[in-house]
Amino acid sequence: MSVALPFSILARDGAARRGRLVTAHGAIDTPCFMPVGTAATVKAMRPEEVAATGAQILLGNTYHLMLRPTAERIAELGGLHRFMNWPRAILTDSGGFQVMSLAKLRDIAERGVTFRSHLDGTLYSLTPERAVEIQHLLGADITMALDECTEFPVTPEAALASMERSMRWAERSKDSFTRRPGHGLFGIVQGSVFPVQRLKSVEALTGIGFDGYAIGGLAIGEGQETMLMVIDATVPALPEDAPRYLMGVGKPGDLVAAVQCGIDMFDCVLPTRSGRTAQAFTRRGTVNLRNARHGADPRPLDPDCACPACKNYTRAYLHHLAHAGEILSAMLLTQHNLTYYAELMAGLREAIELGALDDFVAAFEAQQAEGDLPALA
């Protein structure tokens, strides 16, 4: 167990774990889902509303915040927690994925990555040392080592070279990290869809030693079956006494399956991005509020949900807001989606505590398979 970032496992059910991670800004109950606040805000939400959904930790991003307003400015203003009025824990992604997916004319070399900003074309350099420095300036409770997010599809040879570079970067990230109570550094397992490479990556990272271990480079086109195969091959090799974080995976069914495999932490833009496009996640599956069948429906979106959208508004009103392009549509549906994700995680934690995870998963799958409420006659 890390002294700087204590993690305890409170209950188990099969490979699944119910745990608690203690940071400088509060405890995090796991399994947990981290809403994404990429640029120091969860889009369409006030921090108080995010907290009301049950979220105990947010994700911020090195790439976006180094471009604007800059980590140095945020540090001058008291750090990211104060800057965005979020007194709870924050994990910051190191920017490796964004460099792959957003940056222009990137050049990856042993020293680090050079890229042009997607905003204005300005040339930047991001090294493992600089990525850790930025996250320190931000005041992140959990810092991520800089890695290269391997593209998919990829040849085994290219994946191996990418993974080995990430492991060298991981060691440099560790050497650059300033240890202090309540703050920790996570390493990131790479190796694309090749189990042997994933295990070599785990061996390298555990040899270096981190406070937690993330599985990166998934949910980028490989499909659920392959993703779960990689997770199944990787998780048993990870340290039992450290948190396990599956990066960028966010469909409800994927979360449930990954918890069964032993994953503790998740993040994804899916619930917030979907909220801005009138897509809601419910106990009975995904609902598109733009569909005409909701236009005169006086019922709530999800009768078992306690969020403001479900307690105070009808499907007909949410349908109207979506078609009218009103900002309130994004606000209400984002809050609903984050509430659903938080409640799903809470249900998983309770099921693990009770030793009833299989029953919970069976009920979850049956209800999802039923589909949305039928339209009123």
Joined together, the tokens standing for residue 213 give 């271990």
Residues 274 and 255: their CA atoms lie apart, in Å, by 16
Say how far apart CA 224 and CA 12 lie, in whole Å. Answer: 24
What whole-number distance in Å separates Cα of residue 92 and Cα of residue 124?
19
> What is the distance between the alpha carbons of residues 13 and 42, in angstroms, rounded to a whole number?
33
Amino acid at 143: T
Whether 177 shows a pLDDT value over 70: the answer reads yes
227 vs 58: CA distance, rounded Å: 24
Query: Burial level of 359, CB count in 10 A (0-12/13-18/19+)?
Result: exposed
- Tokens, residue 7: 């993690």
Q: What is the DSSP string of 94-141?
A: -SHHHHHHT-EEEEE-SS-EEEE-TTT--EEEE-HHHHHHHHHHHT-S
Of the listed ranges 63-72, 109-118, 196-205, the one predicted with least confidence:
109-118
Q: What is the reported pLDDT for 97?
A: 83
Q: Average pLDDT of 78-87?
A: 98
183 forms beta bridges with: 180
What is the 3-class SS of 220-242, one letter each residue?
A: CCCCHHHHHHHHHHHHHHCCCCC
Residues with a known catalytic role: 93, 267
Q: How confident is the model at residue 276 (pLDDT cuts 50, 70, 90)?
A: very high
Half-sphere exposure of 47 (CA within 13 A, CB side): 17
260: pLDDT strictly greater than 90: yes
What percent of the chain is modeled with pLDDT above 70? Answer: 99
Average pLDDT over residues 77-86: 98
Beta bridge partners of 215: 189, 246
In 3-state terms, what secondary structure has residue 247?
coil
CA dihedral sign of residues 157, 109, 144, 81: negative
User: pLDDT of 205-250, one tens digit each?
Assistant: 999 999 999 999 999 999 999 999 999 999 999 999 999 999 999 9
* pLDDT at residue 103 greater than cutoff 90: no
pLDDT(106) > 80: no
CA distance 261 to 17: 9
Indicate the helix (H) or strand (E) that contains 280: strand 279-282
Ordered by where they begin, the domains of the chain are 7-268 (3.20.20.105), 275-370 (no CATH)
User: What are the tens digits of pLDDT across the range 132-174?
Assistant: 999 999 999 999 999 999 999 999 999 999 999 999 999 999 9
Determine the pLDDT at residue 341: 98
Tell me which of 99 and 6 has the higher pLDDT. 6
Sign of CA dihedral 86, 89, 94, 99: negative
CB 343 within 8 A of CB 269: no
State how far the Cα of 204 lies from the Cα of 304, in Å rounded to an integer.
Answer: 46
Query: What is the DSSP code (8-state) at residue 375?
Result: P
Please state, as a whole number, how many other Cβ atoms lie within 10 Å of the Cβ of residue 285: 16
pLDDT exceeds cutoff 90 at 335? yes
pLDDT (0 to 100) of residue 125: 92
Backbone phi and psi for residue 13, each to the nearest 5 degrees, phi listed first = -145, 100
* Confidence (pLDDT) at 99: 79
Work out the mean pLDDT of the chain and round it to a whole number. 96
Beta-bridge partners for 27: 22
Q: Are 338 and 269 in contact (CB under 8 A)?
A: no
Q: For residue 183, what is the DSSP state?
A: B
Residue 216's Cβ-side half-sphere holds a number of Cα atoms within 13 Å equal to: 32
Q: How far apart are CA 108 and CA 105, in angstroms?
A: 10
Q: How many residues does the chain have?
A: 377
Residue 105: band (very low, low, confident or very high) from pLDDT cuts 50, 70, 90: low
